[in-house]
Structure 1
Amino acid sequence: MISVSKLLCGLDAESDGLRYDAADGSKKPQITDDKQQRPVVVWNTTKRCNLYCEHCYAAADQEEAPNELSTAEGKALIDDLAEFGVPVLLFSGGEPLVREDLLELIAHAADSGVRPVLSTNGTLLTRDRARELKQAGLKYAGVSVDGLPERNDRIRGEEGAFDAAVRGIEACLDVGLKTGLRYTITEHNVEDLAGVVDLLVDVGVDRFCFYHLDYGGRGADISDVDLSPEATRKAVTDLCDLTREYHESGEEIETLLVGNYADAGHLVEYADREMGTDRAQRIYRYLERNGGDPTGERVADVDPVGNVHLTQFWQGYSPGNVRDRSFGAIWSDKSNPLLGALREREDHLSGKCADCAYQSVCRGGSRLRALAAHDDPFAPDPKCYLTEAERDGEAAMSRIRGGPAADAD
């Protein structure tokens, strides 16, 4: 994740220590004071879902996957993650709220010292359910909304899904459970982005996560409606402008970009153009600490039947199953060639990624999109929208990397 509001507006967040090793300078209570050493883990707790979204990376449907992890196995997984030092466990799906043992699992994570958060479509959230989740120890609920009512409902395959999700958001806010928006941007909904932010700010939401489409699950089936590089650049620029406008008006909304680390280079260029080189230097240093695309390193996934994945979107490959080996053993296995190559990807990137000026803050972007587009996980990410001049701008990079302001954090 790249925090637009942190980088452009200086807004403190709970993740400053985890993401930027900047806990000392933050006024917010921190998830951790130290830079992330172990992956944030997404657990797809079930394949079952009450909706059928066109971009679902997990290809969720009406039925559970055969042989999903039981309550006891889920608790054992949580214990394993806690022992390995995982800082955050994201309960996802399918729709995790259809699991009858979800409260028990969240409570177990909280008791084990792993921060439990939730990804949900929000339509099953009531005030009572939200209160129970908070009492169990849930720290945050990310609710997926993908446009204003008509577009959202079409994308999610259910009339009334938008209104139900907003009611779910309101239920969480009513009981004091921190809640944010999750929004996957495609040609189908890019025009609604600002309208959804405006509407949900009025509801009381102050955290907005915008996802680029990754080509996993049903997302691969709609890659033809992914934004073009030019449209992606415009959408990200618009989000930067929108974030700054809100902050200038006194609204401290947190905005984040997820899934395309070309955004890192673009934010530096945007800041250099709109805010000056001093700000661009600071942003560059933060992004270097963040470390670029986290696949196979700072993010991991466990699917409903226990298969480990290199990111939640890359469901087509698994280095092992937690029923056979511990998560820690799978993730630390130095004999796995793909894991090893991803962790030294600078030696394997090809094409324009191999010598890009922004490689240290991007690290090649999505390896899944590269695989889908080129049948090569180390080929260029087709969603890179940086210009040739930006990628090759040695003079500009020398200015951005150098100077005393680069250390003024």
Structure 2
Amino acid sequence: MISISKLLCGLDAESDGLRYDAAADSSVEQITERKQQRPVVVWNTTKRCNLYCDHCYAAADTEGVPGELSTAEGKALLDQLADFGVPVVLFSGGEPLVREDLPELVAHAVDAGIRPVLSTNGTLLTEAAAAELKDAGLQYAGVSVDGLPERNDAFRGKEGAFDAAIRGIEACLEVGLKTGLRYTITDRNAADLEGVIDLLTDVGVDRFCFYHLDYGGRGKEIVDADLSPAEKRDAVRRLCDLTREYHAAGEEIETLLVGNYADAGYLVEYARRELGPETADRIRTALERNGGDPAGERIADVDPVGNVHLTQFWQGYSPGNVRDRPFGAIWRDEVNPLLNALRNREDRLRGRCSECQYQDVCRGGSRLRAMTVHKDLFAPDPQCYLTDEEVGASTSSTSAD
């Protein structure tokens, strides 16, 4: 994640220590006082979901899959994560709220010393459910809303999904559970960007996560719905402008970019143009600490049956299963060729990525998108929207070859 509000507007957040090694300079209580040493883990607790979303990376359906981790196995997984020093576990799905044992699992994560957060479509979040999760120790609920009512409901395959998600957000706010809105942009809902952000202030939410489409699960089937690089650049510029406008008006909205580390280079360029070279240099330093694309290093995923993945979007490959080996042993595997390649990707990146002046804050962006489009793990991310001048690469190096 890249925080626009932190980098452009100086808004302190609880993740400053985790993300930018800036805990000492932050005015708010921190998730951790030191830079992230172990991955944040997404746990897809089930493949079952009450919706059928076009972009679902987990390809969730109305039924679960055989062999999903039981309550006891889920607790054992959480103990494995705690033993390895994982700072945060994100309970996801499918829709995690279809699991009746979710509050019990959240409470176990707290007891194990892991910060529990939730990713949900929000439609099952009643006030009673939100209160039970908060009492169990849940720290945050991210609710997905992918556009205004008509577009959101079409995207999510169910009429009324938008209104139900808003009721879920309001339920969380009513019981004092920190809540944010998650929005994945495509050409189907890009026109709703400003309206979705306005929704934040209307409902009272102060955290907005802007997701780029990654090409996993059903997301792979709608690659053609992704924005062009030029359109994506324009959308990120609009989000930067809107964030600054809201902060200038006294609305301290936390806005974050997720899933495309071309955003890092763009924020430096944006700051240099709009705020001056000193601010741009400060932002670049912070982004160097953040470290670029985290796949296989600072983010991990465990699917419903215990397979470990390199990110939550990369469900097609697993280096091991937690029923066979502890999570830490799988993640530390020094002989796994894909893990090693991702963790030492700088010398393997090709095309414009190999010459890019922002390689240290991007690390080539999404390797999953590169592999999906170019059939080459180390080809350029097809959704890099930086210009050749910004990249600093020769025009002859802009192809995947």
> So what's the TM-score if we normalise by structure 1?
0.96
Alignment partners' CA distance in 1, 2:125 and 2:180: 14
1:6 is aligned to 6
User: In the alignment, does 2:54 pair up with 1:54?
Assistant: yes
User: In the alignment, does 2:264 pair up with 1:264?
Assistant: yes
1:78 is aligned to 78
Alignment partners' CA distance in 2, 1:128 and 1:281: 47
1:407 is aligned to none
Provide the secondary structure at the position in 2 that maps to 1:223. Answer: helix
Which stretches in structure 1 are left out of the alignment for 5+ residues?
395-409
Alignment partners' CA distance in 2, 1:277 and 1:51: 46
1:188 is aligned to 188
- 2:40 and 2:87 in contact (8 A); partners too: yes
Provide the secondary structure at the position in 1 that maps to 2:355. Answer: coil
Alignment partners' CA distance in 2, 1:187 and 1:380: 22
Alignment partners' CA distance in 2, 1:238 and 1:53: 26
Provide the secondary structure at the position in 1 that maps to 2:41. Answer: strand
1:288 is aligned to 288
Alignment partners' CA distance in 1, 2:36 and 2:221: 33
1:397 is aligned to none
1:17-67 deviation per Cα after TM superposition (whole angstroms, max 9, x unaligned): 000000000001000000000000000000000000000000000001111
- Letter of the aligned partner of 2:211 in structure 1? Y
CA drift of 1:200 comes to 2.2
Provide the secondary structure at the position in 2 that maps to 1:345. Answer: coil
- Letter of the aligned partner of 1:334 in structure 2? E
Matches within 5 A, 1:103-182: 103-182=103-182
- Letter of the aligned partner of 1:62 in structure 2? T
- 2:352 and 2:393 in contact (8 A); partners too: no
1:21 is aligned to 21
Alignment partners' CA distance in 2, 1:335 and 1:233: 38
Alignment partners' CA distance in 2, 1:376 and 1:320: 23
Alignment partners' CA distance in 2, 1:101 and 1:199: 32
CA drift of 1:255 comes to 0.1
Alignment partners' CA distance in 1, 2:347 and 2:333: 19
Alignment partners' CA distance in 1, 2:205 and 2:168: 12
Q: RMSD of aligned C-alpha atoms?
A: 0.8
* Number of aligned positions between the proteins: 394
Alignment partners' CA distance in 2, 1:137 and 1:101: 14
CA drift of 1:393 comes to 7.5
1:169-207 deviation per Cα after TM superposition (whole angstroms, max 9, x unaligned): 000000000000010000000110110110221110000
> So what's the TM-score if we normalise by structure 2?
0.98
Matches within 5 A, 1:346-365: 346-365=346-365
- Letter of the aligned partner of 2:171 in structure 1? A
Matches within 5 A, 1:179-258: 179-258=179-258
- 2:355 and 2:393 in contact (8 A); partners too: no
- Letter of the aligned partner of 1:259 in structure 2? G
Matches within 5 A, 1:308-347: 308-347=308-347
2:398 is aligned to none
Alignment partners' CA distance in 1, 2:65 and 2:115: 26
1:368 is aligned to 368
Provide the secondary structure at the position in 2 that maps to 1:141. Answer: strand
Provide the secondary structure at the position in 2 that maps to 1:346. Answer: coil
CA drift of 1:330 comes to 0.2
CA drift of 1:347 comes to 1.2
User: In the alignment, does 2:100 pair up with 1:100?
Assistant: yes
Provide the secondary structure at the position in 1 that maps to 2:57. Answer: coil
Alignment partners' CA distance in 2, 1:24 and 1:191: 39
Alignment partners' CA distance in 1, 2:268 and 2:387: 13
1:96-131 deviation per Cα after TM superposition (whole angstroms, max 9, x unaligned): 000011010000001110000000000000111100
